[in-house]
Amino acid sequence: MSILVVGSIALDDVETPFGSRKRALGGAAVYFGLAASYFTEVRLVGVVGSDFPSSHVDLLAARGIDLAGLQTVEGETFSWGGKYGYDFNARETLYTHLGAFADFQPAIPERFRKTPNVFLANIHPNLQLDVLEQVERPALTALDTMNYWIERTPAELRAVLERIDILIINDSEARQLAGEPMLRKAAARILEWGPELLVVKKGEDGAVTFTRESIFAVPGLPLDSIVDPTGAGDSFAGGFLGYLAATGDRSPEALRRATIYGSTLGSLCCEAFSTEKLTDLEPQEIEDRFQEYKRLTHFEHSPFLLDA
Amino acid sequence: MSILVVGSIALDDVETPFGSRKRALGGAAVYFGLAASYFTEVRLVGVVGSDFPSSHVDLLAARGIDLAGLQTVEGETFSWGGKYGYDFNARETLYTHLGAFADFQPAIPERFRKTPNVFLANIHPNLQLDVLEQVERPALTALDTMNYWIERTPAELRAVLERIDILIINDSEARQLAGEPMLRKAAARILEWGPELLVVKKGEDGAVTFTRESIFAVPGLPLDSIVDPTGAGDSFAGGFLGYLAATGDRSPEALRRATIYGSTLGSLCCEAFSTEKLTDLEPQEIEDRFQEYKRLTHFEHSPFLLDA
């Protein structure tokens, strides 16, 4: 089943200890869409300026992403400049130029309105609500947000949380949103507000998913090299929701596998600059990385102290 | 098979957001010894001052810990004061009074010298070497250290690393020791220097063990409440090495289970102040926590993208 993503499309300037890229393809909807495209049909809604290279449009189209919801307006594309040191969990934002994104009003094309799965990437909660008004009873809705909205628009954010199934945010955002330093308690509180599933991304330290009944955690896979972690969180969301959308399976076992597919796409994303790694993956490469997570985490229990 | 531990015994003053303790039993050898005592016979070598309460000695003896190597000298016991905020991975040291520990010269009692397993807790690398000179061909030797020795005595530390089997340190120490920000590369470098196994503790974010052939990682178990994380790393080491010592098994599967027993004892330690949780655990409680790690991390692979 197809998935609709609404969010940013960007041209990023990125510096890391290993190199840099200027005006590289980026944005939450782009990373999400590319990652999810390995699992299912992706429909994208977003906005770019008149400076957006047609080669980037071609690249998205080549992954089968339906761009009927791509608006092009006069002016500049949203642009983000960031710098990483050796601690890739921390980054410095050099600038944010909203450009065309400042006045973004998501318009969902008629033929996208019955898309069964919807991902609302990090935008103003009122715009996220507006998208939910335009779509028709999706089977699965998921949301990302950030500290900016948690601090500035808490009521609007709570309103949209009441209407979605899955919240995908990072560790510090989860604690901040709940006003609770212990992650397990923070998760319990957030799950009372609407979502049935909370996915907490921890960067290099993996991810944890909480339902009201259980917790699943995956550690970070130590990589030989991290080239550029930009977009890893949105790639995680793309792998996670792409798998759920493709299978239509929301069993506890499927949610665990979705967390591994999310980690898989997130970790692959980090191995090259910008979207370079996400544009021509082989299915075998994705499954091999999934298996690597299995080898990384697998153990058998034998109750030693009770047998002894 | 029994295990010998050489390291600090302390009286700690600890403050957390949830309460405080004055002159509470602490020290690396104590946490390690208590945790390991659930698996095998523990022999302890350390020093205390004349102010050390006999009730603490009784408590260690009650866990079956052999205290033939416990020296008592005139003066004050080593004492550490620390304060935690809501981020339990960070802590502030308020003071360190070395006291009796300043002139500690480990003297291994005659009947301890053939102990088959040895854990050298965090002390001066020259003292760690001195212990290795006193024991007779142990089957398994493991070492902890800290940034202080990595910075001040790098040559001495490298000398002792050449002679041990397992290095157990935290994340930032591993990167600092190797002079390499990527953990996987740092591990590869450290394993060239002698140890056959590197155990990297990541606090709330779990642990990763590296051999030359494979990597095993366990995520942090989100706890309902963390009361006091002091000693969690040494309790981890106690569970880890206690299991290996008890089984004599160093297969890859055993090393994975040891990592889970380490995580189990480390996480239990955090649930009460000082050593309060480690003094009267039931075997069932330890095995239940082990099973909790299994439920937390278990997933099955089905190669979705290749079947599709």
Contact residues on chain A for B221, CB-CB shorter than 8 A: 217
Min Cα–Cα distance to chain A from B33, Å: 17
Distance from CA of A193 to the nearest CA of B (A): 19
For residue B9, the model assigns a pLDDT of: 98
Across the interface, whether the CB atoms of B301 and A290 are under 8 A apart is answered yes
Which residues in chain B have their CB less than 8 angstroms from residue A226's CB? 182
- Residue of B219, B290, B81 whose CA lies nearest to A216: B219
Q: Is a pLDDT exceeding 80 seen at residue B89?
A: no
Residue B308 domain-assigned (yes or no): no
A92 Cα to chain B: minimum distance (Å): 18
- Residue B303 maps to a domain: no
Q: Quick one: which of B221, B236, B211, B251 has its CA closest to B36? A: B236
pLDDT under 50: residue ranges of chain A: none
All residues of chain A having their beta carbon less than 8 Å from the beta carbon of residue B284 are 306
* A222 closest CB neighbour out of B208, B256, B305: B208
- A-chain residues near B215 (CB < 8 A): 222, 296
Query: Looking at CA atoms only, how far is residue B50 from chain A in angstroms?
Result: 37
For residue A96, what pLDDT is reported?
A: 95
Asked if B100 and B47 count as a contact pair (C-beta separation under 8 A), the reply is yes
CA distance A51 to B192: 51
Question: How confident is residue B303, by pLDDT bands cut at 50, 70 and 90?
Answer: confident
Is residue A164 situated within a structural domain? yes
CB spacing of A304 vs B182 below 8 angstroms: no
**Mean pLDDT in chain B?**
96
Distance from CA of B78 to the nearest CA of A (A): 32
Task: Test A297 with B297 for CB contact under 8 angstroms.
Answer: yes
Any idea what the CATH number is for the domain that residue B220 is in?
A: 3.40.1190.20
What residue numbers bound the domain in which B139 lies? 3-297
Phi first, then psi, for residue A60 (nearest 5°) are -65, -40
A54–B contact, CB cutoff 8 A? no
Q: Which residues of A touch B300 (CB under 8 A)?
A: 253, 257
Residue A69: φ, ψ to 5°: -100, 15
Contacts of A208 in chain B (CB under 8 A): 219, 222
A251 vs B: CB within 8 A: no
Cα angle, residue A101 at apex, residues A67 and A66 outer, rounded to 5°? 5
- d(Cα A143, Cα A121) in Å, to the nearest integer? 6
In-domain check, residue A84: yes
What is the per-residue pLDDT for B250? 95
Predicted pLDDT at B257: 97
Residue numbers of A between 158 and 197 with CB closer than 8 Å to B: 181-185, 187
The answer to whether residue A282 neighbours chain B at the CB level (below 8 Å) is no
Residues of B in contact with A287 (CB under 8 A): 303-306
Chain A residue with CA closest to B307: the answer is A283
Say if A139 falls within a structural domain.
Answer: yes
> Are A243 and B300 an interchain contact pair (Cβ–Cβ within 8 Å)?
no
Query: Would you say residue B236 lies in a domain?
Result: yes
Q: What was the pLDDT predicted at B85?
A: 85
Cα(B94)–Cα(A93) distance, rounded to whole angstroms?
34
Give B171's pLDDT tier (boundaries 50, 70, 90). Answer: very high
- Interface probe with B: pick from A305, A306, A307, most Cβ of B within 10 Å: A305
Put simply, the answer to whether A304 touches B185 (Cβ < 8 Å) is no
Position A308 scores a pLDDT of: 54
For the CA atoms of B282, B288, B292, B295, the dihedral, rounded to the nearest 10 degrees, stands at: 170
Alpha helices in chain B (DSSP H): 28-36, 54-62, 125-134, 147-152, 154-161, 171-178, 183-192, 232-247, 252-269, 283-297, 304-307
Number of domains in chain A: 1
pLDDT band at B307 (very low <50, low <70, confident <90, very high): low
Q: Number of A to B CB contacts under 8 A, please give it.
A: 148
- Of A33-37, A53-57, B86-90, B133-137, which range is least confident? B86-90
- Which of B248, B249, B171 lies closest to B217, judged by CA? B171
CA B26 – CA A23 distance, rounded (Å):
55
Indicate the DSSP class of residue B38: T
Q: Which two tokens stand for residue A178?
A: 């709940």
Closest CB to A306 among B243, B284, B305: B284
Tell me the nearest-neighbour CA distance from B222 into chain A, angstroms: 6
Whether residues B184 and A224 touch (CB distance < 8 A) is answered with yes
Residue B241 lies in a domain: yes
Q: Does B251 touch chain A (CB under 8 A)?
A: no
Asked, for residue B143, whether it belongs to a domain, the answer is: yes
Judged by a CB distance cut-off of 8 A, whether residue B58 touches chain A is no
Taking CB atoms and an 8 Å limit, are A297 and B216 in contact across chains?
yes
Across the range B292-296, mean pLDDT stands at 97
Q: Give residue A87's pLDDT.
A: 77
Of the residues A89, A224, A291, A304, the best mutation for testing chain B's interface (the one with the most B CB atoms within 10 Å of its CB) is A304
Q: How far apart are CA B57 and CA A91, in angstroms?
A: 49
The verdict on A80 touching B (C-beta cutoff 8 Å) is: no
Name the minimum distance, in Å, from the CA of A200 to any CA of chain B.
11
Joined together, the tokens standing for residue B129 give 């070497």
Touching check for A20 and chain B: CB below 8 Å? Answer: no
Name which of B256, B286, B294 is nearest A305 (Cβ-Cβ): B286
Model pLDDT, residue A220: 97
Summarised one tens digit per residue, pLDDT across range B186-238 is 999 999 999 999 999 999 999 999 999 999 999 999 998 899 999 999 999 99
A-facing residues of B in 203-242 (CB < 8 A) are: 205-206, 208, 210, 214-226
Q: Does A1 touch chain B (CB under 8 A)?
A: no
ipTM (interface predicted TM): 0.93
